[in-house]
A and B are shown apart, each in its own frame.
Chain A
Amino acid sequence: KNEVEQSPQNLTAQEGEFITINCSYSVGISALHWLQQHPGGGIVSLFMLSSGKKKHGRLIATINIQEKHSSLHITASHPRDSAVYICAAPDSNYQLIWGAGTKLIIKP
């Protein structure tokens, strides 16, 4: 069983749709990192959250520490949101345990 599991693995949606990507983790300290990687591009940190909810533009991340579950939402999705979204849980040494990533494609 992977220590950090994401779903879905692949997601294709139409522009404007509300997107949800889920992450469950069984390890790590009580925090979760969401990152984004565009095709051929570098990795960008989106959120690090340890409780509640964070919002940045059209991106919203929530976390339930008790259930060790986090979700990343994208409102009013746009083709430029097409990327791989990765969740990662820091272990006790603050090293990241990576999920497998969710490949998101937003069609115009």
Chain B
Amino acid sequence: DTGVSQDPRHKITKRGQNVTFRCDPISEHNRLYWYRQTLGQGPEFLTYFQNEAQLEKSRLLSDRFSAERPKGSFSTLEIQRTEQGDSAMYLCASSSTSQGYEQYFGPGTRLTVT
């Protein structure tokens, strides 16, 4: 399967713990996006990368959140000192600037903070 993959699919953690999610984009895609979606709401943009450069971060991305894409391929999103309000679905998408703007989404990582 050459689609966008995310790992893990589900994560339950206790408040105060750190969590890290991984996203593997479609291999030829140079852009990678992270979104957060809470129940009944649309996706909220968090950040995006073009190759290894992080070009924009939303104000939603507090200093407890950090994202990396060290080699311009997979990306990680880390949340430190998790809070119950961090419980959400974290979505990753990728696109290619040479093939138009269409974003392809991964299945998401559902985080539950207890």
Q: Report if B104 contacts A (CB, 8 A).
A: yes
Q: Which residue of A lies closest to B91 (CB)?
A: A43
Which residues of chain B come closer than 8 Å to A35, judged between CB atoms? 105
Residue in B33, B45, B91, B105 whose beta carbon sits within 8 Å of that of A45 in the complex: B105
Number of A-B contacts (CB under 8 A): 45
CA distance A14 to B9 in the complex (A): 34
How many A residues touch the partner, as a band?
A: 20 to 34
CA distance A48 to B102 in the complex (A): 6
Contact in complex: A94, B101 (CB < 8 Å): yes
What 0/1 readout, one digit per residue, does chain B (73-102) give for beta carbons within 8 Å of chain A? Answer: 000000000000000000101010100111
Q: Report if A76 contacts B (CB, 8 A).
A: no
Contact in complex: A42, B56 (CB < 8 Å): no
Q: Which residue of B lies closest to A32 (CB)?
A: B101
Contact in complex: B103, A93 (CB < 8 Å): no
Contact in complex: A31, B91 (CB < 8 Å): no
Contact in complex: A33, B102 (CB < 8 Å): yes
Residue in B43, B95, B105 whose beta carbon sits within 8 Å of that of A94 in the complex: B95
CA distance A95 to B95 in the complex (A): 10
Q: Which residue of B lies closest to A96 (CB)?
A: B103
Which residues of chain B come closer than 8 Å to A31, judged between CB atoms? 100-101
What 0/1 readout, one digit per residue, does chain A (41-62) give for beta carbons within 8 Å of chain B? Answer: 1111100100000000000000
